Amino acid sequence: MGIAIREIGVDYPMQLDITTLGDTHIYCVNPKEVPIVYNQVQSYFQYDISLNDGDVVFDVGANIGLFALWINRHYSNIDIYAFEPVPILFEALNRNFQQTDPEHMKAFPFGLGHENARVTFAYHPNATAMSTAYPYTQSEQIELQEAIFKNLPKSAQDEFSPMLHLFFENEPVQGQLRTASEVIREHNISKIDLLKIDVEKAELDVMRGFTPEDWSKVKQVVVEIHNIDNRLNTIQSLLSQMGFTIAAINQEEGLKGSNIYNLYVTR
């Protein structure tokens, strides 16, 4: 079932689809992407990362909201602030929230960054979770394709190898960025029990949008880091200075050998 969405200033229609996740209907772009991403987001709850009733979550790089939907299924009364700047992904995110728990799940049509700005994103329609404000270079594409290929089961390599280049096909779309500190002030947010950041090479930009005072409100952080220019160490140092303890650094099984890591920190 296709639902036409038209982005302001763009002369082509964008399509949403609908798939199911268990007994829930999910608005999405790629139905096949939904179970893969849903399984991945569960990995953020490792190394003593947890929530309690009444907690507040910032989901930065929310895509269509699968991380938030997982939280909603497993916890009660969690207030989720989800940020997604790519218009068609925000449309799916907002629809999913409205049909699930609009009282506790709030979707924002912008991303978080180090400043307020209008940005051109590389939107990846065949792998929407890879959409980014920092387009992949040729060498980055090759390195990531090789890592993904090597981690595929042998039985799946022949089938999926011809498809890997399709993940990197992209088209430009305009999106808005704002700083986390501005959002925190506007919504009078006194605490953030979990800050999840998955923004495809813009993670340091997101963090630079928090003031030291705002960082003091954050209890736990899980962030996907593209280790470019020693960024893994830079972010560890920044979070340590803000009073966090490094709980773990790992790589997803499908990304072993790439430069992509997950960092888990707590207070």
CB 193 within 8 A of CB 56: yes
E-assigned strand segments in 85-192: 105-108, 111-112, 117-123, 171-178
Task: Please report whether residue 152 resides in a domain.
Answer: no
Q: What is the mean pLDDT of residues 102-121?
A: 97
Q: In what order do the strands lie in the sheet with 245-250?
A: 105-108, 79-83, 56-60, 194-197, 220-226, 260-266, 245-250
Q: What is the pLDDT of residue 14?
A: 61
Q: Which residue type is seen at 47?
A: Y
Element (H, E) at 155: helix 154-160
Q: What is the pLDDT of residues 152-186, one digit of tens each?
A: 777 777 767 777 778 899 999 999 999 999 999 99
148 vs 54, higher pLDDT: 54
What CA–CA distance (Å, rounded) separates 249 from 263? 5
Indicate the DSSP class of residue 75: S
The answer to the question of residue 92 being in a domain is yes
CATH classification of the domain holding 214? 3.40.50.150
Could you tell me the pTM of the whole model? Answer: 0.91
Q: Residue 162 domain-assigned? A: no
Residues in CB range of 140: below 8 A, 6 or more apart: none
User: Does residue 9 register a pLDDT over 70?
Assistant: no
4, part of any domain = no
Residue 25 lies in a domain: no
Give the mean model confidence (pLDDT) for residues 250-262: 91
| Residue 47 φ/ψ, nearest 5 degrees | 55, 45
Mean confidence (pLDDT) of the chain: 91
Residue 7 lies inside a defined structural domain of this protein? no
- State residue 23's pLDDT score: 87
Q: Count CA within 13 A, CB hemisphere, residue 125.
A: 11
What phi, psi does 115 have (nearest 5°)?
A: -160, 165
Whole-angstrom distance, CA of residue 44 vs CA of residue 222 = 7
pLDDT, residue 12, reads 37
Q: Which two tokens stand for residue 52?
A: 């309690």
Any domain includes 116 = yes
pLDDT, tens only, 59-78: 999 999 999 999 999 999 99
Q: For position 7, what pLDDT does the model report?
A: 43
The answer to whether position 99 is within a domain reads yes
Q: How many domains does the chain have?
A: 1
Q: Which domain holds residue 110?
A: 32-135+170-266
pLDDT digits (tens, 9 = 90+) for 48-61: 999 999 999 999 99
pLDDT over threshold 80, residue 217:
yes
- Would you call 213 exposed, middle or buried from its count of C-beta atoms within 10 A (0-12, 13-18, 19+)? exposed
- Give the residue-averaged pLDDT of 102-107: 97
Residue 104 reports pLDDT greater than 50: yes
